Amino acid sequence: MEKVGAVMVVGAGIGGSQSALDLGDSGYKVYLIESTTSIGGVMAQLDKTFPTNDCAMCIVSPKLVETGRHQNIDLSINCEILNVSGEAGNFTVKVKKNSLYINPDICTGCGVCGRNCPVEAIDLFNEGLARYHATSVKYPQAVPLVYAINKEYCIGCGVCAGVCKAKAVEYDRDDEIVDINVGAIILAPGFDEFVPQAANKYGYGKFKNVVTSIEFERILSASGPYAGKVLRPSDGDIPEKVAFLQCIGSRDYTGEGQPYCSSVCCMYTAKEAVIAHEHQHEVKPTIFSMDIRAYGKDFDKYIIKAQEEYGVRYIRSRISSVTEIPETKDLRLRYETEDGKVIEEDFNMVVLSVGLNPPNDAKYLAEKFGIELNEYSFAKTDIFNPVQTTKAGIFACGAFSQPKDIPETVTQASAAAGCVNQLLYEKRGTLITEKSLPPEIFVAGQPPRIGVFICHCGINIGGYVDVPEVTRYAKTLPNVVMSDRNLYTCSADTQGIIKEKIEEFHLNRVIVASCTPRTHEPLFQETIREAGLNRYLFQMANIRDQCSWVHMKQPEQATQKAKDLVRMAVNKARQIAPIDRIKLPVTKKALVIGGGITGMVAALNFASQQIDTYLVEREAELGGFAKYIYHTLEGGDVQAYLKDLINQVKSNKFINVYTNAELEELNGYIGNFKSTVIYGEKNERAEFDHGVVVVATGANEYKPKEYLYGQNENVILQSEFEEMLNTDSIIKNKKSVVMIQCVGSRNEEHPYCSKMCCAEAIKNALLVKKINPSTEVTILFRDIRTYGFKEKYYRKAREEGIIFIRYDENSPPEISTENSSLNVNVNSVKAGNLSIPADLLVLSAGIVASHEDNEELAKMLKVPLNDDNFYLEAHVKLRPVDFATEGVFVAGLAHCPKTIEDSISQANAAVSRACTILSKDEIEAEGKTAVIDVARCIGCGMCVENCAYNAIELIEDRRFGLVASINQALCKGCGACSGNCRCSAIDILGFTAEQIYAMITGRL
């Protein structure tokens, strides 16, 4: 069957949206199918995100807006999958688009229908804490901003049709069934949270002040029901003592919940506790948990900060029941401390940190798409490639395959897109249409002829602002040659009117006074461009979101303000000029630095798309860290996988491998890099051009100075132990093996978790038991961090008699030697001082990054490192494999400690991100960039330091000496340089000082 250059993405949360954006940007037609009525998923419900406490909505909404507007993404909401046929490269999916009863093409999202709906129904987005109406959007920032009628609650009164000025309500609108032909499918349906049953021991649903963590998230949210105030539902008071109970529905073998660890709860709970205290200082949070699983990048630091700066109290205990004190509605918890004391304590509110379940329709989806589910009903995926389902051409990303956090989801989303690239790269660009535009009208030097279009927005503006008056007023302003008002300026017919007016009045500047440029500027810019005007000859005045809606009771003042805003826009419009977006060629070749698994996977992905790839490895052999790993905890044969990879890489004609190689020089910028490599035993030199860089330089195992390592031959590292277990049978002679966790991790020198060591220790311990069941294995730990499905092996280890003893960070185990035998003395938190004889002491050494090596490369690439010397990505949540410097990507251990599977995902993700560049013949830079007046520049270099994108460098100018020079390709137009320039030598196109002054004087 012929392959198809289109992809279906099922589920439009942050994962699905990322996949869609990557693929849309890489030249594929994307069908993004969402079951609810807006995109954004769970992330859009969150208040803040860990570990940076970024506002979730602030960071996600630009992505959602981009997804909603992307010309290659066809977004359908309120959909169901009916049937799937075909095979990898060519699937046909029958999709039912359930009617919204509101025409999404006409609906402007003004919300009049919702406000007039007499049927108030529970609102899902606020998790039942607030009421919304049968006609509603899920939340105010929803994308697409289209209202939908919830037929379940609607009584069909017809009020909404009456009040809708846009005539968008169509009660007879039918469901639509369509067949969509695609080459690949990405499943990103996310998860459903665990809901405690009504008759549960925590009193959820029975006691008002027991809420789930996702409900608490809405309580914290500024756009939530309580406007961000932390209040308890029983009486609206601030709860001073809040208890967070972890592992609700997770690590649960009673059958009520799930046996696996939900991975994210430890962190989101810490975050909710911190944010609650931040919002309301009266709140004193207490977190009850078994282990604290803060295994991700910078997570441990966050936990420490929560405890030390926010006074979050951690108690290691699992609460068995909650009772309510009827008079106060407070809640009484009974718990046992680690040392065995039973304590009763009252709290004002209890938050249940509920786990992540597979999506409720997982079985339905699996059946329709013909993929298998695992034992927990999550999507079953390949042991080494976590985005590959059991069916070729169908990929899974995000929480559908295992509970995971946002950056891991985004990584997998890009990884899935990376795998789609491998499958469909030949069909790139076949199903997308480039819009043909008329040549731009030459307007430079001509006097401004401004047209102003003022929007009534139904009654949203017109009901409060005297629009006819503002329209008359606009006409009186200098250079305004016409002004007009429209019921909805954004409607399709008005776009036609705008184009006609541009022609009729020879307009060369256009102003729309309506809603917000954040959502609507691109639409109007497109319209004037279609009429032949440069996109930047456009201005917007926000007279709805920031005027009519906020001054509803003061119509006169609102009208005056609208006039002022229009006048300011006119003043600016008189100053604006066309801006050209420069176009840069792209060298369609890739450089991958590092020849471990990560680097090789990335190189092979590039190569499979026939992209010439240079793979640079410092050592003589490819393989990296994986050379010392035999199996994964889950049983994957690493050595066989590695051997296969190496063979593939060596035999691939698109990959040029340089071993014993060092990068000597790297210059250039996105799409246009030039590198020099010194390689081989003879120090040969190679030079090549490339368009992107993937940093996959890995990390090292910590070499302990503690616990007699290197001094006593019976003290070995976990990696050495693994080799021993896999290559000889010496273990049969050992009676007792003791393992110490967190050696070189989570301490002052390395204040982070190395993520893999718990799994490694349990893997090797289980192998010991398999080889010789009589060997005693004791694991000394601080927290056992077998997150996700790895929990199964922790459980198994306990069942097999492996002994786990927790020690406190402040009293680490001590080693004594007597003759040749070792004794491990440990202060068990539970059992007091213990002395354990050990034939072998195995140290779970952490992962460390080399400061010297990484800093050198980081400087060359102009990318940052974090405090722990790992590479720092552009954004820890939403751009996990990108750097702020465009065209450069990071993957694998270089980014932070992670598993092989995660490294492979990152490698494929980096390729996908890179393909958004390499798939294009040329890239268009942002037009609104900084420009330098070299005559004024004194070459002080401050702007070079201010630039977050490394877009400025100092160059020698023939006439003016040392001056700053801006690389238009890298500049994002933020203006940080301009605001600091001492000689006013830098200006920002589109926001020039002159334009801003014009607005200021227009205001006064």
Partner 1 sequence: MDFEPKILGFLCNWCSYAGADLAGVSRMQYPPNIRVIRVMCSGRIDPQFIFEALRVGADGVIVLGCHLGDCHYLEGNYEAEKKFDMVKRFLKLINFDNRVRLDWVSASEGARYAQVITEFTDHIKALGPSPIGGDNPDKKILNNLKAIEDAASGDRMRALVGRERKITEQENVYGEQVDLEKFNKVFDSAIVEEYQRHRILVSLEEDTKSIKSLAAELEIDPSVVLEHIVCLKSRGQIDFGEFMGITPMFFKM
Binding site for partner 1 (CB under 8 A): 116, 118-120, 129-131, 151, 155-159, 161, 171-172, 208, 225-227, 229, 231, 233-240, 282, 552
Please, which residue, 118 or 801, has the CB nearer to partner 1? 118
Please, which residue, 346 or 665, has the CB nearer to partner 1? 346
Other Cβ atoms within 10 Å of 136 Cβ, number: 25
The nearest distance, CB 776 to partner 1, in angstroms, is 54
Task: Give the CA-trace dihedral at 407, 408, 413, 416, to 10 degrees.
Answer: 150
Mark out the alpha helices in 862-992 (DSSP H runs). 900-918, 942-946, 976-980
CA distance 657 to 621: 10
The nearest distance, CB 131 to partner 1, in angstroms, is 6
The nearest distance, CB 145 to partner 1, in angstroms, is 17
Please, which residue, 229 or 795, has the CB nearer to partner 1? 229
Q: If DSSP codes are grouped into helix, strand and coil, which group holds residue 597?
A: helix
Please, which residue, 348 or 402, has the CB nearer to partner 1? 348
The nearest distance, CB 552 to partner 1, in angstroms, is 8
Please, which residue, 120 or 956, has the CB nearer to partner 1? 120
The nearest distance, CB 302 to partner 1, in angstroms, is 27
Residue 529's H or E segment, with its range, is helix 517-530
CA distance 911 to 523: 31
CA distance 603 to 593: 10
Q: What is the DSSP annotation of 112-175?
A: HHHHH-S-EEE-TTTTTSSEEESEE-SSTT-BS---EE-TTT-----HHHHH-TT--B-TTPPP
CA distance 92 to 180: 5
The nearest distance, CB 203 to partner 1, in angstroms, is 14
The nearest distance, CB 158 to partner 1, in angstroms, is 5
Please, which residue, 82 or 552, has the CB nearer to partner 1? 552
Beta bridge partners of 881: none
Please, which residue, 545 or 706, has the CB nearer to partner 1? 545
Tell whether the torsion through CA atoms of 91, 399, 78 and 139 is positive or negative. negative
Please, which residue, 236 or 832, has the CB nearer to partner 1? 236
The nearest distance, CB 229 to partner 1, in angstroms, is 6
- State both tokens at 733: 């002679």
The nearest distance, CB 141 to partner 1, in angstroms, is 15
Please, which residue, 115 or 472, has the CB nearer to partner 1? 115
CA atoms within 13 A on the CB side of 373: 17
CA distance 814 to 843: 13
The nearest distance, CB 201 to partner 1, in angstroms, is 22
The nearest distance, CB 742 to partner 1, in angstroms, is 40
Please, which residue, 104 or 225, has the CB nearer to partner 1? 225
Please, which residue, 227 or 437, has the CB nearer to partner 1? 227
The nearest distance, CB 447 to partner 1, in angstroms, is 45
The nearest distance, CB 228 to partner 1, in angstroms, is 10
Please, which residue, 155 or 620, has the CB nearer to partner 1? 155
DSSP symbol at 425: G
Contacting residues for 906 by C-beta, under 8 A, at least 6 apart: 411, 415, 598, 880, 881, 890, 891, 892, 895, 898
The nearest distance, CB 157 to partner 1, in angstroms, is 4
CA distance 1 to 12: 28
Residue 197 Cα to chain centre, angstroms: 31
CA distance 697 to 692: 15
In this structure, which amino acid lies at residue 802? I
Other Cβ atoms within 10 Å of 41 Cβ, number: 26
DSSP symbol at 544: I
CA atoms within 13 A on the CB side of 748: 1
Contacting residues for 647 by C-beta, under 8 A, at least 6 apart: none
Q: Which residues of 773-789 are buried (b: 16+ CB within 10 A; e: fewer)?
A: eebbbbbbbbbbbbbbb
The nearest distance, CB 111 to partner 1, in angstroms, is 11
Beta bridge partners of 687: 676
- State both tokens at 535: 């996109």
Please, which residue, 241 or 790, has the CB nearer to partner 1? 241
Please, which residue, 129 or 910, has the CB nearer to partner 1? 129
In the chain, what's the furthest Cα-to-Cα distance? 101
CA distance 124 to 138: 7
CA distance 522 to 62: 13
Residue 411 near residue 433, CB atoms below 8 Å: no
The nearest distance, CB 116 to partner 1, in angstroms, is 6
Cα-flanking dihedrals φ and ψ of residue 325, to 5°?
-90, 110
Please, which residue, 282 or 662, has the CB nearer to partner 1? 282
Please, which residue, 157 or 177, has the CB nearer to partner 1? 157
